[in-house]
Amino acid sequence: MLSRRLESIKSFLKKNDKVVDVGCDHGYLSIEVFENKLCQSVIATDINESALDRAKKNIREKNLPIRTILTDGLKNISTKDYDTVVISGMGTNTILHILDNEEKIKSVKKIILQSNNNRVKLREELNKLGFYLTDENIVYENKKYYITMLYIKSNEKNTKEEIKYGIIKKEHFAYYNYVITSYENIISKLPLKRFKERHALKKSIKELKKLMKKELKK
């Protein structure tokens, strides 16, 4: 079974997409996408030979005709073979390095990103590259929050608020817990002379967290 983190990428894929899974590592996402016919085609790529070997082994075991390519980002992939780029499990700088290739992203209509840091910078830069943030989801797994972003090709720009806070829909329960944790961090930075205030706030946060934990288990 796919991890919750990788599962959350699937909802952004459509039947007609020609997907390139950049930095596929084990290849689990590509395999899942292919086996369930979630899109028209999928190519699994990685910069690291042993990572790609892992993907090849997993693909071979299932006897699937998924193409694998050893390459840095989109470099050795023909633009006619993809219109949707998925990059997950990397940091913002690596993601931006991969997308810093005008020629290779010209024909891209959709980008799905899951960065593990600096999402504000990522949202800013994607607008500059001509991609508009249209959806985001959030999941909680192994004590971490994972936000997946869906971009479509457009010259439209996201608002300052959208860039800063994202556009996660409020029905994602993990979102509330994410917000609570952010508040908790702010509260812990209150000066010591506001100890009483800090203590009271911490107590309320603790109650809220308990409640959210129950909800997340549902």
Ligand X SMILES: C[S@@+](CC[C@H](N)C(=O)[O-])C[C@H]1O[C@@H](n2cnc3c(N)ncnc32)[C@H](O)[C@@H]1O
Site residues, ligand X (CB under 6 A): 6, 22-25, 45-48, 51, 72-73, 88-90, 94, 97-98
H or E, element range at 202: helix 195-217
What type of residue sits at position 55?
A
In this structure, what token pair is assigned to residue 68? 């694998």
Q: 148 vs 158, which CB is nearer to ligand X?
A: 148
Minimum CB separation of residue 48 from ligand X in Å reads: 3
Which residues, 6+ apart, have CB-to-CB distance to 190 below 8 Å? 197, 198, 201
Q: 55 vs 163, which CB is nearer to ligand X?
A: 55
Q: Cα dihedral sign for 119, 10, 51, 77?
A: negative
Minimum CB separation of residue 9 from ligand X in Å reads: 8
Q: 32 vs 72, which CB is nearer to ligand X?
A: 72
Which residue bears the tokens 């590592």?
Answer: 25
Minimum CB separation of residue 127 from ligand X in Å reads: 22
Dihedrals φ, ψ of 150, to 5°?
-110, 120
Q: 97 vs 164, which CB is nearer to ligand X?
A: 97
Q: What is the DSSP letter of 155?
A: S
Q: 94 vs 177, which CB is nearer to ligand X?
A: 94
Minimum CB separation of residue 8 from ligand X in Å reads: 11
Give the Cα separation of 42 and 35 in Å (integer): 10
